[in-house]
Chains A and B, each alone.
Chain A
């Protein structure tokens, strides 16, 4: 253990900006960014599935409210949504007396709520497209088997729609990672927040931001390869058959 730390200190020796101290900030930033993105994606996904089913409903009074939600959240900048939730949460009646206040007072949770709603809106539209693209024959076959609407949704439509949605959803995950950079605007110490801190402390924009850009690039590639792998596994039946 001692060997590693002396090796690490030797590596950083003579480096004014990238000391163990600042690298610690970047590490904390990486943890915050990952938590924010991962949690909002999971929550967004859970919200998006029922919304996508509602959005593809034949009944206008079910699909229209969902359309309104996705239209507003996809049509306005995430920054505005973040501001509205971050500045607006104080004004919910009685929130400051409620047990939720210590949680909501920190910037992390308003940011998480804004990101979740935003990604839910985009994911809903992605899934709706995939649901709409279900082959007619599959639905007819399910009906011919006497499946109920629910069973058909669960066994036939959703599994194949998820697969079809995979490439577009991979893009959405990358988009979310990049969008999460604005969390630094509401004082969160995410990756970009750490870079801004290092920039402000050493007045070294190139070092601070190029380093963080490289981290984002690595994360983007990791997500990209993960989704490529998933597509290869899950969409194997759609690959062109070669000799």
Chain B
């Protein structure tokens, strides 16, 4: 086996941080993506515009720059808000803007824009007659969404979703730059300390490949589930 020189437990901890970060960001991104897709398809001009500006801006700027903006700027912004609260309303709170929150927020925010595009295409692929049929049955909008639009939309969205997830997973490596101790940061620190970069960086690369392979398997199962009734297409 490889001698991890005592860095083993920290690397495993770091892997945990990577996975947590990725899953939480994915959840945030899906929620934002659904909201963005709905906004883009809405009849309201302002909502459509806002969603377009959001997706265009996010996709035009590097993830790392957005992350640094939010992380370095976030603390100043949060401090300004708590100062304002203290001076004006005498509310004394201290909010610590930590790297993990910044990471989840930025990654979720970035991929929300990509998910928005994926979901929009998928929603439009659902036959309008189905939605009309649901309404004719007297289903409420929420029920139509839950029982008809969402399950059918997912079938079309899954390939894009799985693609976005793979990119998101790799993007989590960037949080090591803003000071979060994920497995990349532990590996980089260990490489510098021991002068053995391959011992630490190669296993971490393999862990990424493993996570990617496991997710590929999960997405294949999900696709099978959402393809029920459309077999052979």
- The interface of chain A, by Cβ under 8 A from chain B, is 71-72, 75-81, 83-84, 87-88, 91, 177-182, 184-185, 192, 195-196, 199, 205-206, 209-210, 212-213, 216-217, 220-221
Tell which of B172, B198, B208 touches A88, judged by Cβ atoms closer than 8 Å: B198
- Chain B residues closer than 8 Å to A185, beta-carbon distance: 177
The answer to whether A220 and B60 touch across the interface, beta carbons within 8 angstroms, is yes
- Closest B residue to A180 by beta carbon equals B62
- Chain B residues closer than 8 Å to A181, beta-carbon distance: 62-65
The answer to whether B204 and A80 touch across the interface, beta carbons within 8 angstroms, is yes
Interface string of B48-90 (1 = CB under 8 A from A): 0000000001011111111011001100100000000000000
Q: Is B202 an interface residue (CB 8 A)?
A: yes
- Closest B residue to A177 by beta carbon equals B62
- Chain B residues closer than 8 Å to A212, beta-carbon distance: 65
- Chain B residues closer than 8 Å to A182, beta-carbon distance: 64, 174, 177
Q: Is B158 an interface residue (CB 8 A)?
A: no
A79, A213, A217 pick with most chain B CB within 10 angstroms: A79
- Chain A residues closer than 8 Å to B131, beta-carbon distance: none
- Closest B residue to A183 by beta carbon equals B64
**Count of B residues near A, CB < 8 Å?**
36
- Chain B residues closer than 8 Å to A209, beta-carbon distance: 65, 68-69, 72-73
- Once the chains are docked, how many angstroms separate the CA of A178 from the CA of B65? 9
The answer to whether B57 and A178 touch across the interface, beta carbons within 8 angstroms, is no
Spot the interface stretch: B39-47, B122-130, B184-192. B184-192
The answer to whether A205 and B60 touch across the interface, beta carbons within 8 angstroms, is no
- Once the chains are docked, how many angstroms separate the CA of A87 from the CA of B69? 27
- Closest B residue to A206 by beta carbon equals B73
The answer to whether B209 and A84 touch across the interface, beta carbons within 8 angstroms, is no
- The interface of chain B, by Cβ under 8 A from chain A, is 57, 59-66, 68-69, 72-73, 76, 166, 170-174, 176-177, 184, 187-188, 191-192, 197-198, 201-202, 204-205, 208-209, 212
B166, B172, B205 pick with most chain A CB within 10 angstroms: B205
- Chain A residues closer than 8 Å to B61, beta-carbon distance: 178, 213, 216-217, 220
- Top 10 A-B pairs, shortest CB-CB distance: A77-B173, A87-B197, A205-B72, A181-B62, A178-B62, A209-B69, A205-B73, A181-B64, A77-B170, A220-B60
Q: Number of A-B pairs whose CB atoms are under 8 Å? A: 108
Closest Cβ–Cβ distance, residue B145 to chain A (whole Å): 31
Closest Cβ–Cβ distance, residue B91 to chain A (whole Å): 25
Instruction: Give 10 A-B contacts (CB < 8 Å), ordered by A residue.
Output: A75-B166, A79-B174, A80-B204, A87-B192, A87-B201, A182-B174, A184-B64, A195-B65, A195-B68, A199-B68
Closest Cβ–Cβ distance, residue A181 to chain B (whole Å): 4
- Chain B residues closer than 8 Å to A81, beta-carbon distance: 205
The answer to whether B176 and A79 touch across the interface, beta carbons within 8 angstroms, is yes
- Chain A residues closer than 8 Å to B172, beta-carbon distance: 77
- Closest A residue to B56 by beta carbon equals A217
With A206-B73, A213-B69 given, is the CB distance from A83 to B64 under 8 Å? no
- Closest A residue to B68 by beta carbon equals A209
- Once the chains are docked, how many angstroms separate the CA of A75 from the CA of B177? 20
- Chain B residues closer than 8 Å to A83, beta-carbon distance: 184, 187-188, 191, 197, 201
- Chain A residues closer than 8 Å to B57, beta-carbon distance: 217
- Once the chains are docked, how many angstroms separate the CA of A206 from the CA of B61? 14
With A181-B65, A209-B65 given, is the CB distance from A72 to B209 under 8 Å? yes
- Once the chains are docked, how many angstroms separate the CA of A205 from the CA of B67? 11
- Chain B residues closer than 8 Å to A91, beta-carbon distance: 197-198
A80, A216, A220 pick with most chain B CB within 10 angstroms: A80
- Closest B residue to A214 by beta carbon equals B61
Tell which of B62, B174, B201, B208 touches A84, judged by Cβ atoms closer than 8 Å: B201
The answer to whether B184 and A77 touch across the interface, beta carbons within 8 angstroms, is yes
With A84-B197, A213-B69 given, is the CB distance from A179 to B202 under 8 Å? no
- Chain A residues closer than 8 Å to B73, beta-carbon distance: 205-206, 209
Closest Cβ–Cβ distance, residue B38 to chain A (whole Å): 25
Tell which of B59, B66, B201 touches A80, judged by Cβ atoms closer than 8 Å: B201
The answer to whether B208 and A75 touch across the interface, beta carbons within 8 angstroms, is yes
- Chain B residues closer than 8 Å to A220, beta-carbon distance: 59-61
- Once the chains are docked, how many angstroms separate the CA of A213 from the CA of B69? 9
- Chain A residues closer than 8 Å to B176, beta-carbon distance: 79
With A178-B62, A216-B62, A217-B60 given, is the CB distance from A79 to B173 under 8 Å? yes
- Once the chains are docked, how many angstroms separate the CA of A130 from the CA of B166? 22
